[in-house]
Each structure stands twice: as C-alpha cells, then as structure tokens.
A and B are shown apart, each in its own frame.
Chain A
Amino acid sequence: MENIFDREDSENDGDLNVSVSSSCEVGVHSTEVEIENQESQSSEQGRDIRRDSEEGSPVPSESDCLDDQVSNHAPGAFEEIPTHAESETPDLSKDIKVESSHEQDIVLHKQFIPGKDKKKEIKSRKEIEEEEREKMQVLVSNFTEEQLDRYEMYRRSAFPKAAIKRLMQTITGCSVSQNVVIAMSGIAKVFVGEVVEEALDVMEAQGETGPLQPKHLREAVRRLRLRGGIPNCRAKRPLYSL
C-alpha cells in the first residue's frame, strides 16, 4: 500500500507542498495570534526556551550536536505552557539535528533544489519536519486559554469510525476495510474544515459576527462547488446547447 505514495514521492516532491501546516494555522482563524514578535526574534531562541524549561538545565549551544529530545514533545505540544525565560543564549545554527521521536506529527514534503549548498547539508525531509515542529511548539506555547481550547478541539475532534464504517457499508453493500474508513474520516474532516473556513469568510465579507448561520454555510458550499472542491452527482448540465 505504501507503494502508491512512494512512487509519487520520487517523481514530484515539489507539487506536494505543505498543505497540512496551513490547515493548522487557519485553525485559529478567528482569534488573534500575536506571536510575530517572538517569531521575528529567532525561533531558535524559542527552541532553546522550551528545552530549558523541559530539561531544566542550560543546553550547550553548539552546532551539529545531537540533542536527545524528550519523547513526549509531540503530544505535549498543546498541554504545556513553558515560562518565558529570558535567555541570552546566542543564535543556534540551523544545522542542529534533533532525534526524532516515535510519534511523528505532521510529515512535510520537501522541495528538492538540486545543486544548492553542497557544503551545508541539503535539508532532508526530517530536518524540515523538525523545524516545523519546533515552530509549532513555539506557536502553541504562546496561545491564550481560548486559543488552546480551540486548538485542542481542532486536533482531537474526529468522526466516529464505527458510524462511518456503517454508513459506507450501507452504501456499498459490501464490507470496507479499516484503512478505507480511516482515509474517509480524515477526508471528511478536511471537508468540514474547508466548508467552515469558507463560511467564516462569507460571514466576514457580509460583516456579521457570531455563530455561523445556515445561509453562510450554503453560500460557502456554492462557492466551493464552483471551484470544484465538492464532488457533485453527475451534474448533467448541457455543455454546448444551441
């Protein structure tokens, strides 16, 4: 099963750019995030802050050092709020490798730029993934209470697999495998996200606030259908008619 993805990988990595991180960012669509200051200061400092607060000892700021990352960084990302320690550690170079933990978060696909920086290592996928994870940690550590709530809901909500399986088996009439159910629930969640985000845009454009109303959702669905984001049932509209 993995082969269907591996082939795609080798051919065009450039096409499969990050789209998951964007959906993470728009998860806090309606709330303000004031992390620009922190982000403009090097994110490496934020990396350091997190390590300091978690390991409890100053980390030597050497480049090319293999730091052992505590394995529960990933699930703890939205549970811990480390203190903002004023650290005067110098800039960490970008070549710090961090041991990846078992629980992989979001896998990003790298853009291969051949021939660039032979001296500096070509950034492997894992390095980019690690950097993204660090940035996410910095971001999440600066969330307000409400933003944390929303982020937790965003990550944790999912469709019940049993119901999806039952629904699909009713439609197909034959049994579906577990992978299919997993894939379908994931896609359905992305679909909900697209509709809700579009509806929020519609509501904002109309200058209204408050909970989403069905009219916003319907307008969002209409726009998505035009863009082709929603499969529609064999719409028999005459292409060419005199």
Chain B
Amino acid sequence: MATLDDTFDQFDEEEAEIPLGATLSGRKRLFSKELRCMMFGFGDDQNPYTESVDLLEDLVIEFITEMTHKAMEIGRTGRVQVEDIVFLVRKDQRKYARVKDLLTMNEELKKARKAFDEVKYAGIGNISTSLMKILLLAI
C-alpha cells in the first residue's frame, strides 16, 4: 500500500539520519562557547542550559548540512559556490540581506586592504589591516 511504503521510506530516512545524528552528538562539541555567547546575545539567559546549547548545536549542524547538500545539487553539481547559497536563501529576507551585507563588506575590506598595501607605510598599514580583520571577524 502506498502509505505503508511511504512510512517505510520515512523510516529509512530517519534510520539513515539517526546513526549520523548519533555520531554527531557523540563527537566533540564544536560550537559550545560561541553558541553560549550567541544565545545570550539573542535574548536568552546569561547562563543557558547545556542541553539547550547542545540541541542548538545539533540544529545548526543539521542546518548547515542541509544547505550544503542542497547547494551541491544546484549550479555546478558537486561543488558549493556562493551563488548557490545566495540562490537558496533568496526567499528568506533576513538571511538574504545578511549574506548580501557580509559579502559586500568583505569586498570593501579587501579593496581597502589592497589600497593600504599599496601605500608603503608598513607599520601603520599592518595595524589598520588587523583592525579591519577584527571588524570582519565580529560579523
């Protein structure tokens, strides 16, 4: 019957996903510190629960995995390019605007860095470029 097959399909997918999920959560936590700061920044308590942080990390990893898989399917298959990511978030206003800002800012910083390097003030140029790197990291 169609419905039985469908549930089996879902089951298969879940089974295929669950071992992956188990190894992911068994792996070392990748983003614990940063996620805590991020949750506080977005409105949570100053000390969020560890289980919440773990859950969010799993969600983020799943999100990134999904996006990467989808990006590999469109455009040039097997590769992930910026245009693919932009295409994937085109419907979501917030994410699209964010990607746009990040990439344009990155381009501007690269241009400014180049301009600095051309000016032969070695000391001053290095300090300014490291300042700009801090700015870029803080995104």
Residues on A with beta carbons closer than 8 Å to the beta carbon of B61: 167
A153 and B102 contacting across the interface, CB-CB below 8 Å: no
Residues on B with beta carbons closer than 8 Å to the beta carbon of A26: 43
Residues on A with beta carbons closer than 8 Å to the beta carbon of B137: 158
A188 and B60 contacting across the interface, CB-CB below 8 Å: yes
**Nearest neighbor of B81 in chain A, beta-carbon distance:** A180
Instruction: Flag whether B39 is at the interface (Cβ < 8 A).
Output: yes
**Nearest neighbor of B48 in chain A, beta-carbon distance:** A211
Query: Within the complex, what minimum Cβ distance (angstroms) separates B138 from chain A?
Result: 5
A190-B94, A211-B45 given; A180·B17 CB < 8 A: no
Residue pairs across A and B with CB atoms within 8 Å: the count is 222
B105 and A104 contacting across the interface, CB-CB below 8 Å: yes
Instruction: Flag whether A113 is at the interface (Cβ < 8 A).
Output: no
A153 and B34 contacting across the interface, CB-CB below 8 Å: no
A157 and B34 contacting across the interface, CB-CB below 8 Å: yes
B67 and A187 contacting across the interface, CB-CB below 8 Å: yes
B101 and A238 contacting across the interface, CB-CB below 8 Å: no
A interface residues, tally (CB under 8 Å): 82
Residues on B with beta carbons closer than 8 Å to the beta carbon of A228: 91
B interface residues, tally (CB under 8 Å): 73
Residues on A with beta carbons closer than 8 Å to the beta carbon of B101: 20, 106-107
Contact of B65 among A171, A187, A194 (CB under 8 A): A171
Query: Within the complex, what minimum Cβ distance (angstroms) separates B115 from chain A?
Result: 10
Q: A159-B34, A192-B39, A211-B48 are in contact. List 4 more A-B contacts (CB 8 A).
A: A16-B100, A187-B98, A212-B52, A233-B17
Instruction: Flag whether A218 is at the interface (Cβ < 8 A).
Output: yes
Residues on A with beta carbons closer than 8 Å to the beta carbon of B68: 168, 171-172, 184
Contact of B41 among A1, A155, A241 (CB under 8 A): A155
Instruction: Flag whether B118 is at the interface (Cβ < 8 A).
Output: no
Instruction: Flag whether B82 is at the interface (Cβ < 8 A).
Output: yes
Residues on B with beta carbons closer than 8 Å to the beta carbon of A172: 68, 72, 78-80
A4 and B44 contacting across the interface, CB-CB below 8 Å: no
A158-B34, A163-B31, A238-B6 given; A231·B49 CB < 8 A: no
A:64-81 near B, CB below 8 Å: 75
Q: Which of A35-43, A130-138, A195-203 is the interface stretch?
A: A195-203
